[in-house]
Amino acid sequence: MTDLDWINTALTQSRPQAVAALLRYFRDLDTAEEAFQEACLRALKNWPENGPPRDPAAWLIMVGRNSALDGKRRTSRQVELPEEDKISETGDAEAEIADRIDDSHYRDDILRLLFVCAHPDLPIAQQIALALRIVSGMSVKEIARAFLASEAAIEQRITRAKRKIEEAGVPFETPGPVERSERLATVAAMLYLLFNEGYSASGGEAHIRGALCDEAIRIGRLLLRLFQTEPEIMGLTALMLLQHARTPARLDAQGQIVLLDDQDRTRWDRKMIGEGLALVDKAMRHRKPGPYQIQAAIAATHAQAKKPSDTDWGQIEALYGALERMQPSPVITLNRAVAASKVRGAEAALGIIEPLAGPLGNYFHFHGLKGGLLMQLGRHDEARESFDRAIALANTAQEAAHIRMHIDRLIRESAKAS
């Protein structure tokens, strides 16, 4: 691993905690973000020479805070600063200070920040977009992809949310029990999108951004301690655990996507699966079903199958049907079609997805699935058309390579037929 690789990993993993702590200190979103960026620049200069600090997050918090304070002093001219070269040549003094920071001073800052972003003065779309930008560091492009919206619309949401928080004087503190319950659904949505950003690696990385998944699961466990009888938080945490357990088997040695049926299930994290299954069972005993619990039950059905042929696709189709009734969405219908293809064949699944051509016309997975179903039915020209559209919409090189594999297969079969 190169210096840049491990530094990028450390910065990505530390961002939520560092930005949240800086926000608590400065009470200003823009200042917190700018302070973190300055700390990252210092890390890129300092860490290759001195090595990683014991606690990268603490180091970034300390350096970011000092940098922002210096900036405020320069602006206010209240304190005369030494020359920049004297500040920059202090070696790794920041790390020595950061090593003495007690973790308890900032361990709940991320949770506090999530509840601030979920403030009821903000529309839900702004709440989630803001949290994804501030907490996970997702780019506007990545958030737009998650929302299936334009980048301009997302940029506007984030700008308006920041302005509303500033104008309303929203307190940067964890709300009381009643407010926490009211904001919990939005926080859960933020958390799952944060997890999915790491799980899908939509930024185009050659590896799964596991640090974001780990962070989302950590916050999920923190929420469970606060809401011990809330079955949807149990379901959400279980869902993340069960999905993340498959991470070691999701890419091959060349970094290419391995579909669920082709994964080496011995590489799945059984300890994580056990924790997830226990949470699913605990949530179901409350008899208050919700979307996260149903999704967790689907993931549990996959996790319990020792080999692909053991998968209870009938149960999965029924669960997606229940989820579709509870939370109508073209993407959920698309997932139900996958299960339907396993139970009732490609023709039935194709009938399910045809009405989705409008709402999912620019969605990679729609065209990928349609191409696969058409290929199963021997409609190769139509399949090639769908696969070409999927490649044009691919978010990562891995997605594009996976579709090209299907196209190569079509070409081979067409050559044999001729």
pLDDT band of residue 412 (cuts 50, 70, 90) is: confident
pLDDT tens, residue by residue, 160-215: 998 888 887 777 666 677 777 777 888 898 888 878 877 876 444 534 467 678 87
pLDDT at 77 over 80: no
Rg (CA), the chain: 24
pLDDT tens, residue by residue, 117-164: 888 888 878 888 888 888 777 788 878 877 778 899 999 999 999 888
Domain boundaries along the sequence of the chain = 3-105
Q: What CA–CA distance (Å, rounded) separates 416 from 372?
A: 19
pLDDT of residue 106: 46
Q: In the 8-state DSSP scheme, what is residue 135?
A: I
Question: Stretch 34-46: mean pLDDT, rounded?
Answer: 91
pLDDT band of residue 397 (cuts 50, 70, 90) is: confident
Per the rule left: phi > 0, alpha: psi between -120 and 50, beta: everything else, 169 is: left
Phi/psi at 257 (nearest 5 deg)?
A: -65, 135
Distances (CA, A) of 333 to 23, 121, 193, 319, 361: 40, 32, 19, 11, 14
Do the Cβ atoms of 403 and 371 come closer than 8 Å? yes
pLDDT of residue 87: 39
